[in-house]
Structure 1
Amino acid sequence: MLWFSEEVRPGFWVGFTGAGAGNLAFHVGDGPDRVAGRRAVLDARVTELAGSPVSLHLQYMNQVHGSDVALVAAAGPSPSSMPVGPTADAMVSRSASLAVMVADCVPVVFAGLCADGAPVLGVAHAGRPGIEKGVVAATVAELRASGAVSLQAWIGPAVCGRCYEVPGDMRAAVSAVEPAAYSRTSWGTPALDLPAAVEARLAALGVPARNVGVCTLEDDALFSHRRTLRDGGAEGRFIGFAALARGAVS
């Protein structure tokens, strides 16, 4: 179910699911009850992982390829099978466990600490439009405004610069904002390296980052929108998450 997970401190975990957890998105044509059931199973696994005495419920968002950052309080169980989250491409919280959905875009997960030792969590959806619009910098700014005096980021699985073919003018536009995005496919055509762009932006912002990802297009242990377009099959989304056990505040 979990493709990667790491304990930041007792009760504070970050991680990424794999395709084995099933599709976790409601907007790709899957049955709502099936998606809700998978999310509930994942909530239970994350609760167990964090050692929380109270059930954790990951907060999702309505992602629109922008740069808005939502501040959220603790998430509770959804009153329906299709919950409504904030419309944003990043979230920051001092109490809620957060999730970001992807299937080729870059999932970025943040763990921060305030001066008093209290945790701050963040997630960001860094697709090509979001990188152009500055979603990574906006998320870091909101984390710091929320009290984070130290930050660490994890860059999850995404389509790599050898595979993400784009038109030449698109490569030029994105590279003008983030030069590290400039890439070429393994067959010699214009491409974008979104994970490299995210890593470069985090470095410029003074945020240490661990790139734990692989290429989603190349690894069928993860969902890939581009692979689905190429090979067919059902769409799916995996998530990056930051989870905090209730009471893990010092």
Structure 2
Amino acid sequence: MSERRPVHKVFTSRKGGVSEGAYASFNLADRVGDDPAHVKANRERLAQVLGLEASRFVWMEQIHSPTVTVVEGPSEDPIAATDAVVTTQRGLALCVLVADCVPVLLSDHEAGVIAAVHAGRMGARNGILRNTIEKMVELGARPHAIHVLMGPAASGERYEVPRDLASDVETHLPGSRSTTAKGTPGLDIRSGLLRQCLSKGVTAVDADPRCTIEDEDFFSYRREGTTGRQAGVIWLD
């Protein structure tokens, strides 16, 4: 019999759900224009596949802020005006929704502290990941013991932005400026977040290299405009 894992980290794709049209098919966001019944069915399917109760999932009202919220238990409503949630509670599934932004899942399973982070351009620029690591440390996590997993997101080769914007983000999130495949200014937010992790003493960092703009297995706001959201989910056993 295999040993139980102390922490689980999962990223979804756009496949495997019941949503239709621009939201086909596994859209997990309830505020992007999809049929609420389809979103509910998709979330119930996610819970079933992961072996958790749907009531144990914690969702966020993501606003591209640097705000981190500690959660102590389930919530019927999304956690208001926050872009990262942290908990020490077991069996509580923290969720982040994305469609090009970087979903980041963090854990120190020995200390029993986990977090889910929505690292969009503005949130990343303004320190959402740094603030999350600091909050985890306040709750007992140790930087050298934190593992970070970044999910599929817009890549530096595809995420084209104006030169002034690239320079501004680079100033606040060093390592994020890139050159796109077209030779234009771009942003690689995952690269900037990696450097920020290292600056905080967090060295165990993994990243899914897939680009949501390029890979049609994922929802992409920059590619499609009206579209759904995939999720990152983390929980402690």
Normalised by the length of structure 1, the TM-score is 0.83
Match status 1:235 vs 2:210: no
Q: Which amino acid letter does the alignment assign opposite residue 12 of structure 1?
A: V
- In the alignment, which residue of structure 1 is the partner of 2:81? 87
1:8-49 Cα shifts (integer Å, max 9, x gaps): 96252101001114000011100112101111111122226x
Q: Which residue identity lines up with residue 8 of structure 2 in the other structure? A: W
Aligned with residue 7 of structure 2, among 4, 8, 12? 12
User: Aligned ranges for residues 161-180 of structure 1 at < 5 Å?
Assistant: 161-180=156-175
| Structure 2 residue matching 1:87: 3-state secondary structure | coil
1:1-250 residue pairs with structure 2 within 5 A?
Answer: 10-21=5-16, 22-47=26-51, 57-75=56-74, 78=76, 83-95=77-89, 96-113=92-109, 117-149=110-142, 150-207=145-202, 208-229=204-225, 234-245=226-237
Query: Post-superposition shift, 1:209?
Result: 0.6
Q: 1:8 to 1:169 in 2, by over 3 A?
A: farther
- Residue 84 of structure 1 and its aligned partner are, at CA, apart by 3.2
Q: Distance in 2 between matches of 1:155 and 1:112?
A: 15
Structure 1: distance between partners of 2:207 and 2:113: 20
Counterpart AA for 1:29: G
Q: CA deviation at 1:152?
A: 0.5
What amino acid sits opposite 1:238 in the alignment? Q
Residues 118 and 131 (structure 1), Cα distance of their counterparts in 2 relative to 1, 3 Å cut: closer
Deviations 1:188-210 (A, max 9, x none): 11111111111111111121210
Q: Distance in 2 between matches of 1:110 and 1:143?
A: 9
Structure 2: how far apart are the matches of 1:240 and 1:225?
17
Structure 1 residue 118: Cα displacement: 4.5
1:213 Cα deviation from its structure 2 partner: 3.4
- CA gap 1:120/1:55 in 2 versus in 1, 3 angstroms: same
2:122 partner SS: helix
* Structure 1 position 125, deviation (Å): 0.7
Q: Confirm or deny: 8 A CA contact 1:46 1:243 kept in the other structure.
A: no
Q: Could you tell me the percent identity over the aligned residues? A: 33
State the TM-score, normalized to the length of structure 2: 0.88
- Is the Cα–Cα contact under 8 Å of residues 155 and 199 in structure 1 kept in the other structure? no
1:4 corresponds in structure 2 to none
Give the Cα–Cα distance (whole angstroms) in 1 for the partners of residues 189 and 121 of structure 2. Answer: 7
Letter in 2 for 1:39: R
Unaligned runs of 5+ in 1: 1-6, 49-53, 246-250
CA distance in 2, matches of 1:93, 1:136: 15
Aligned amino acid, residue 84 of structure 2:
A
Q: Is the 2:59–2:96 Cα contact (8 Å) retained in structure 1?
A: yes
SS of 1:180's equivalent in the other structure is coil
SS at match of 1:109: strand
* Whole-Å separation in 2 of the counterparts to 1:137 and 1:64: 17
